[in-house]
């Protein structure tokens, strides 16, 4: 157990050190407490869901690893989520996919989903006092097996997926009404070509028309916000993806949906952190899928690396917390899945706190005066300022295990619960 005296003493020291720079650590902790991270359900079961868990994961995304203990039912997944949330400070949200419906033994196809299939999730979320977000699932289905959904040349298939997305928005609206927190319903489609297409325009035109039809019914943004997620390429769609960044940026600028940017969905030399300030002058709100691509869109658990820190800074420095919805998107089946959630979500929070402990206004002044030497010297120094003492205190105050102490709970849960799932 982390020593309480050590936590309190080091916090006091850190508080004084930051105060020298005019940084109020208590304000930073209050600011952090207001941020809700949307934790994704699909880390808990390798994106299998409960519609057809034996089915194959398609859409050009992949989980690798066979660590024991994957959740096999909604109840198991909720128990795992309870365990994860108990090790993360703050009140957060859960991001659900349509395939996480509860269909009471009956097959419910994607064009038939209704709010009632998610009522247990809503009851659970009410009990926990958390919000829910939603995603239609346009993969892992026979009607998506050829890699096309909303852009499909066959109108019947397109209509099937349009109906699925329409119903998904109504489920988002239901979440918003029931839980008193706006749900974000995010559309991601895998549609694309392995090799160079002749017609690049046709699928994009069909996608625009499909989105227009999906969003034709106005839903009060108090309850549901639509989001559209772009991608550069996927496995099997290396040459062309219809829903590219430019496509959805244009769509979001002309229409209501908010833009979703996933950290793994760009060329490896491009970073989402640098895109936030570029789109914010034009868009009211955005959604992020914070992920970690390693050589490809591999969806590794996010670590406290430079890009995660830069994303946090780009949210915090301009004060965009109310305009940027922070969602996580990673799925690693090679490690304890509850730990994956806890490590990734704690890292997102750490990065945000670290950014909140920066004397941004002073650094901006230096920049405006052209003193780039001080800017560089200080931004480097602040990297090793005692933010960790503040983070530890924040966890301690929230009654959440401090530092690696949370691992004890992970191992106990693994032994008592996860290891029994054979």
Ligand X SMILES: C[C@H](O)[C@H](O)[C@@H](O)C(=O)CO
Please answer whether residues 192 and 146 qualify as being in contact, where contact means their C-beta atoms are separated by less than 8 angstroms.
no
Q: Output the smallest distance, CB 59 to ligand X, in A.
A: 7
| 60 vs 176 by CB, closer to Mn ion | 60
| 33 vs 57 by CB, closer to ligand X | 57
Give the list of residues 6+ apart from residue 167 with CB closer than 8 angstroms, or none.
Answer: 111, 112, 113, 114, 136
Chosen residue from 29, 47, 94, 261 binding ligand X by CB under 6 A = 47
| 261 vs 352 by CB, closer to ligand X | 261
Active site residue 126: no
Active site residue 188: yes
Please answer whether residues 264 and 297 qualify as being in contact, where contact means their C-beta atoms are separated by less than 8 angstroms.
yes
CB atoms within 10 A of CB 335: 12
Does 231 bind ligand X (CB under 6 A)? Our answer is: yes
Active site residue 195: no
9 is in an annotated binding site: no
Question: What does the DSSP assignment read for 327-395?
Answer: EE----SSS-HHHHHHHHHHHHHHHHHHHHTS-HHHHHHHHHTT-HHHHHHHHHHHHTSSHHHHHHHHH
299 is in an annotated binding site: yes
Q: Output the smallest distance, CB 56 to Mn ion, in A.
A: 19
The residue from 51, 226, 299, 314 that is catalytic is 299
Mutual orientation of helices 406-416 and 337-356 as an angle, nearest 10°?
A: 160
Q: What is residue 242's DSSP assignment?
A: S
Active site residue 45: no
Instruction: For the segment 186-225, give every residue that binds ligand X (CB under 6 A).
Output: 188
- Binding-residue total with Mn ion (CB under 5 A): 3
Please answer whether residues 388 and 12 qualify as being in contact, where contact means their C-beta atoms are separated by less than 8 angstroms.
no
Q: Where are the beta strands (DSSP E) in 258-309?
A: 258-262, 286-290, 292-294, 296-300
Chosen residue from 289, 325, 337, 350 binding Mn ion by CB under 5 A = 289
Q: In the stretch 234-263, what mask flags binding to Mn ion with x, by CB under 5 A?
A: ----------------------------x-
Chosen residue from 289, 292, 325, 337 binding ligand X by CB under 6 A = 289
297 binds, among ligand X, Mn ion, none (CB under 5 to 8 A by kind): ligand X
Please answer whether residues 401 and 395 qualify as being in contact, where contact means their C-beta atoms are separated by less than 8 angstroms.
yes
Instruction: List interacting residues with Mn ion (CB under 5 A).
Output: 262, 289, 329
Q: Write out the binding residues.
A: 265, 297, 299
Instruction: List interacting residues with ligand X (CB under 6 A).
Output: 42, 47, 61, 135, 188, 229, 231, 262, 289, 297, 329
């Amino acid at each position: 157990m982390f020593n309480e005296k050590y936590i309190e003493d080091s916090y006091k020291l850190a508080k004084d050190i930051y105060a020298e720079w005019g940084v109020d650590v208590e304000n930073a902790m209050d600011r952090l407490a207001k941020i809700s991270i949307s934790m994704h359900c699909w880390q808990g079961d390798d994106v299998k869901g409960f519609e057809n868990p034996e089915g194959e994961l398609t859409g050009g995304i992949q989980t690798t690893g066979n660590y024991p203990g994957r959740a096999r039912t909604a109840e198991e997944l909720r128990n795992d989520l309870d365990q994860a949330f108990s090790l993360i400070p703050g009140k957060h949200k859960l991001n659900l996919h349509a395939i996480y419906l509860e269909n009471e033994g009956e097959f419910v196809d994607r064009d038939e989903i209704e709010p009632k299939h998610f009522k247990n999730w809503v009851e659970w979320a009410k009990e926990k006092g958390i919000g829910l977000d939603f995603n239609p699932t346009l993969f892992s289905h026979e009607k998506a097996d050829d890699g096309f959904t909303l852009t499909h040349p066959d109108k019947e298939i397109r209509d099937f997926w349009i109906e699925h997305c329409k119903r998904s928005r109504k489920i988002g609206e239901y979440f918003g009404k029931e839980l008193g927190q706006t749900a974000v319903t995010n559309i991601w489609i895998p549609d694309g070509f392995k090799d160079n297409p002749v017609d690049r325009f046709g699928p994009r035109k069909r996608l625009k028309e499909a989105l227009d039809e999906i969003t034709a019914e106005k839903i009060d943004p108090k309850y549901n916000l639509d989001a559209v997620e772009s991608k550069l390429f996927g496995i099997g769609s290396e040459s062309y993806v219809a829903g590219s960044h430019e496509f959805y940026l244009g769509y979001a600028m002309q229409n209501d949906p908010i833009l979703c940017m996933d950290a793994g969905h760009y060329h490896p030399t491009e970073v989402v952190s640098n895109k936030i300030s570029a789109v914010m002058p034009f868009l009211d709100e955005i959604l992020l899928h914070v992920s970690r691509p390693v050589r490809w869109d591999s969806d590794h658990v996010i670590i406290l690396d430079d890009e995660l820190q830069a994303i946090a800074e780009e949210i915090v420095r301009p004060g965009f917390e109310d305009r940027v919805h922070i969602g996580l998107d990673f799925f690693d089946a090679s490690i304890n899945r509850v730990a994956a959630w806890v490590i990734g979500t704690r890292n997102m929070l750490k990065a945000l706190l670290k950014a909140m402990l920066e004397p941004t206004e002073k650094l901006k002044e230096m920049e405006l005066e052209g003193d780039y030497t001080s800017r560089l010297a200080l931004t480097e120094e602040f990297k090793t300022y005692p933010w960790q003492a503040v983070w530890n205190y924040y966890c301690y105050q929230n009654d959440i295990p401090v530092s690696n102490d949370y691992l004890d709970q992970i191992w106990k849960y693994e032994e008592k619960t996860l290891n029994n799932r054979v």
